[in-house]
């Protein structure tokens, strides 16, 4: 299964903001969203979610984007509109855990859609973004890349590199001298292979 790297710009004013112990939970997390069994309800929910003027109806969906630059642009809009601190979360997720918005609105039969609904890089999560999928959260500063001091949270499981394992012991034998010695990097075999190519 393929993985996606997604970004979410948000503030404390957003319908879904980051919580250090649980990740993101949608404002309408108790609202059912099932495009298969209830396509009509799902179409209404998606329409309300994508309506930028809707601030009253909670959504079970949480928007993200494939594009870091679009997340930066969204952060700029949020910052100028609400005059608040804005953050960007980086998320890595399996493709089957999210809905591609363009595919979803076509599947639900929403024909006449505003231009911003046709963003091919937008994906939505249903109800929550688990903490296990979130790599890091940084405070947006308007600069392209965050500085170390802008990091608000990093997922220890995603940021730790696995310890390098020492090579397994390998013994080499010299046919000419009859010696047996420890050769952890198998240098004798590599040397013999290179000599055989001559």
Q: Tell me, what's the pLDDT at 161?
A: 52
Tens-digit pLDDT profile for residues 8-56: 999 988 889 899 999 999 999 999 999 999 999 999 999 999 887 887 8
Is 44 found in the same domain as 72? yes
Q: Tell me, what's the pLDDT at 144?
A: 66
Q: Which two tokens stand for residue 165?
A: 């394992």
Is 172 found in the same domain as 97? no
Q: E strands along 127-198, which residues? A: 128-130, 134-139, 151-154, 171-173, 180-182
Of 64, 74, 52, 57, which is closest to residue 95 (Cα–Cα)?
64
Cα–Cα distance list, 3 to 6, 68, 122, 166, 198 (Å): 10, 16, 15, 30, 45
Is 118 found in the same domain as 187? no
Q: Which domain holds residue 188?
A: 166-198
Is 191 found in the same domain as 125? no
DSSP 8-state class, residue 165: P
Dihedral Cα 9, 11, 14, 17, nearest 10 deg: 80
In whole angstroms, what is the distance from residue 158 CA to residue 70 CA?
23
Number of domains the chain contains: 2
Is 109 found in the same domain as 91? yes
> How much of the chain, in percent, has pLDDT values that exceed 70?
76
Q: Tell me, what CATH number does 68's domain have? A: 3.90.210.10
Global pTM?
A: 0.76
Is 49 found in the same domain as 31? yes
- Residue 50: phi and psi, rounded to 5, are -85, -5
Please give the residue that has the higher pLDDT: either 168 or 103: 103
């Amino acid at each position: 299964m393929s993985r996606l790297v997604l970004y979410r710009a948000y503030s404390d004013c957003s319908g879904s903001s980051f919580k250090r112990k649980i990740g993101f939970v949608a404002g309408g997390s108790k609202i059912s969203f099932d495009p298969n069994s209830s396509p009509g309800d799902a179409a209404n929910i998606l329409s309300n979610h994508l309506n930028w003027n809707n601030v009253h109806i909670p959504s079970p969906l949480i928007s993200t984007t494939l594009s870091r630059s679009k997340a930066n642009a969204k952060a700029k809009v949020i910052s100028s509109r609400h005059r608040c601190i804005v953050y960007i979360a980086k998320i890595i997720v399996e493709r089957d855990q999210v809905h591609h918005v363009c595919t979803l609105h076509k599947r639900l039969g929403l024909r006449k859609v505003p231009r911003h609904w046709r963003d091919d890089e937008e994906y939505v999560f249903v109800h929550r973004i688990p903490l296990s999928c979130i790599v890091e959260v940084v405070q947006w500063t308007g600069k392209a890349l965050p500085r170390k001091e802008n990091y608000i949270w990093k997922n220890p499981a995603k940021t730790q590199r696995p310890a390098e394992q020492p090579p397994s012991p390998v013994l080499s034998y010299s046919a000419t001298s009859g010696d047996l010695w420890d050769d952890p990097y198998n240098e004798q075999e590599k040397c013999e292979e290179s000599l055989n190519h001559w």
